[in-house]
């Protein structure tokens, strides 16, 4: 494919964006704008199409590791950093939309639907907490930094410190299983029990603990385990 600069102006991704709006661009054109330039013999759009052929979608691209980008000729560290940063902006924007709209949570399905897109493809275990007011409306969604379900005391302390800071009445906890199977382990069950006990002592209701897998989730509340 010829260099993008030789194309008619109306066909160039950047000019097309300003003339018709970003919604008019294809996925490949959006990625091409992020890449900014191509490589020898390949335009930015060629590289963008190669990326999409490898990963298929933004969702699959979103939580890749560095090894999965190896062999994509023309996509070096700078271009990869630009793509990964843009994908993370999209994920964070979605979370901000949720916080701003302050939805009322009425079921595990509604709670899980908010965080499944963010957590199902993560390659490492991440723990998030949804803080709710007295009407079960979302106040904030935080990511716990102090450990995992295998490091119980630090993470429970952090969860309830944040809950008290935001004057939360209830919480819903989430973590992902990178293997894709959301079935709870013995550690998950022990953690959930201690979490609920700590919440009772502080007057904060633990509504649920949801484990997110690849294609489904597990709710402790739905299974009458909390």
Residues 154-167: b if buried by 16+ CB within 10 A, e if exposed: ebbebbbebbeeee
The backbone torsions φ and ψ at residue 97, rounded to the nearest 5 degrees and listed phi first, read: -60, -40
Say how far apart CA 151 and CA 169 lie, in whole Å. 24
Q: Give per-residue pLDDT as tens, 108-145.
A: 999 999 888 878 878 788 899 999 999 999 999 988 86
Calculate what percentage of the chain has a pLDDT beyond 90.
Answer: 36
Split at pLDDT 50, 70, 90, the class of 37 is confident
Please report how the helices 27-35 and 77-101 are oriented relative to each other, as an axis angle in degrees rounded to 10.
120
Residue with tokens 């560290």: 77
Most confident of the ranges 29-43, 87-101, 202-216: 202-216
Q: Which of 167, 217, 211, 215 shows the shortest CA–CA distance to 192?
A: 211
Average pLDDT, the chain: 84
2-11, 78-87, 89-98, 155-164: least confident range:
2-11
Residue with tokens 């302050």: 102
SS3 30: helix
Say how far apart CA 218 and CA 210 lie, in whole Å. 6
Q: Between 197 and 151, whose confidence is greater? A: 197
């Amino acid at each position: 494919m010829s260099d993008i600069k030789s194309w008619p102006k109306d066909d160039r991704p950047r000019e097309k964006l300003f003339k018709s709006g970003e919604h008019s661009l294809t996925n490949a054109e959006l990625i091409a704008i992020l890449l900014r330039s191509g490589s020898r013999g390949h335009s930015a759009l060629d590289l963008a199409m190669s990326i999409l052929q490898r990963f298929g979608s933004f969702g699959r691209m979103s939580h890749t590791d560095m090894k999965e980008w190896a062999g994509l000729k023309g996509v070096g560290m700078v271009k990869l950093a630009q793509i990964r940063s843009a994908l993370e902006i999209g994920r964070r924007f979605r979370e901000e939309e949720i916080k701003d709209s302050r939805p009322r949570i009425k079921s595990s399905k509604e709670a899980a639907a908010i965080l499944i897109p963010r957590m199902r493809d993560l390659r490492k275990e991440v723990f998030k907490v949804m803080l709710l007011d007295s009407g079960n409306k979302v106040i904030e969604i935080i990511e716990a930094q102090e450990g995992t379900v295998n490091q119980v005391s630090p993470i429970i302390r952090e969860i309830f410190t944040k809950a008290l800071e935001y004057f939360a009445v209830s919480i819903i906890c989430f973590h992902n299983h990178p293997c894709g199977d959301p079935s709870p382990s013995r550690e998950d069950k022990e953690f959930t029990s201690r979490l609920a006990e700590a919440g009772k002592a502080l007057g904060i209701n633990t509504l649920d603990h949801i484990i997110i897998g690849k294609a489904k989730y597990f709710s402790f509340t739905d299974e009458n385990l909390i």
